[in-house]
Amino acid sequence: MTRNNLHYVNWNSIAKPKASGGLDIHRFSIWRRVLIAKLAAHFYTKHHSLCVSFFQAKYGNRQQVFLFKRGDSYVWQLICHSGDLIIDKMKWKICSGLSCSVLHDPWITNIPLIRWPTFINVMIELPLHVSTFLLDDHWDVCKLSCFFGEALVQRIISLPRLPCSAPDIWTWQSTDSSRIPTSMLYKDLFPAASSSLTWMWKLKCQLRFQTFLWRLYQNSLPTFTWLASRRLPDKINCPWGCADPEDLNHIFCKCLFVKDVFTYLYASLPASSM
């Protein structure tokens, strides 16, 4: 409460995606982090640009990809804070296979083979690059079978590919696209609501009514019980003569006066609308 204004719902509840119980208003501090994640993805994938070349030359030889130290530039610190949003969420889409390491790069899933349990033949030394498993622009099944089990070979064969004449590209794991899905990144930062509210926003009604239903879900209507929790009124009982406290359950289910109003409204509706 500031001066004469009363806030029924706190800002953190409003600035959530609708699927998480909010009004889909972006919280600037989180949205800024998501937007900077694009720069982090460009650095991680060594995108061909002057900015990435500068940061790669200055910070690209560190043991961890997104590691900052005291005295590093503020922009680099922002990139590092957003790096965890894209780590383990990208993988190579194989074209020529020359740019992708078999063991150390993610190309089957978003997790590199070196971090998998043993699904490979450890008695044979793996090739350096994925291009070794390609023959005439197709997967060399015989060579794959020498290093991987049958189930993993079938999974590799089913991977979407581009012609060998094209260079390998980084893609987002869930969309198989090279574009960074910023809206998806933002929504993933919020847990889903305990009960889905998507039906409410699909109703063919005025936005004012949808907002009213949302406030009802948030328990943010100014009932006497709600106001008493803010230490405002002296009484909490229903003003229409009921002995029960006025809360949402009482207003919409138990109040005799409201029941009479609903009955009158129902009786006054034209027969064609029933």
Domains of the chain, by residue range, sit at 1-86+180-194, 90-178, 198-267
Q: Report yes or no: 9 and 215 within 8 Å, Cβ to Cβ.
A: yes
* Residue range 184-207: mean pLDDT, rounded: 82
**Contacting residues for 43 by C-beta, under 8 A, at least 6 apart:** 52, 55, 56, 60, 65, 79
Residue 79 has pLDDT above 90, yes or no: yes
At 96 the pLDDT is: 87
Percent of the chain with pLDDT over 70: 94
Q: What is the mean pLDDT of the chain?
A: 85
Q: Which of 42-46, 181-185, 270-274 has the lowest mean pLDDT?
A: 270-274
Specify the pTM: 0.69
At 195 the pLDDT is: 66
Residue 272 has pLDDT above 80, yes or no: no
Q: Which of 64-73, 115-124, 233-242 has the lowest mean pLDDT?
A: 115-124
Residue 135 has pLDDT above 70, yes or no: yes
* Residue range 203-215: mean pLDDT, rounded: 90
* Residue range 57-76: mean pLDDT, rounded: 88
**Contacting residues for 176 by C-beta, under 8 A, at least 6 apart:** 93, 160
Query: 120 - beta bridge partners?
Result: 148
Q: What is the largest CA-CA distance in the chain?
A: 86
At 34 the pLDDT is: 92
pLDDT in tens, 86-109: 888 889 989 888 889 988 889 988
- Other beta carbons within 10 angstroms of residue 270's beta carbon come to 6
pLDDT in tens, 13-61: 888 888 888 888 888 889 999 999 999 998 988 888 888 888 889 888 8
Q: Model confidence at 243, in pLDDT bands (50, 70, 90)? A: confident
Q: Is the dihedral of CA 138, 175, 64, 148 positive or negative?
A: negative
DSSP string, 105-131: S-SSSSS-GGGS-S-B-TTSPPPSBGG
Q: Model confidence at 80, in pLDDT bands (50, 70, 90)? A: very high
What does the block give as tokens for 187? 């929504």
Cα atoms in the 13 Å half-sphere on the side-chain side of 132: 15
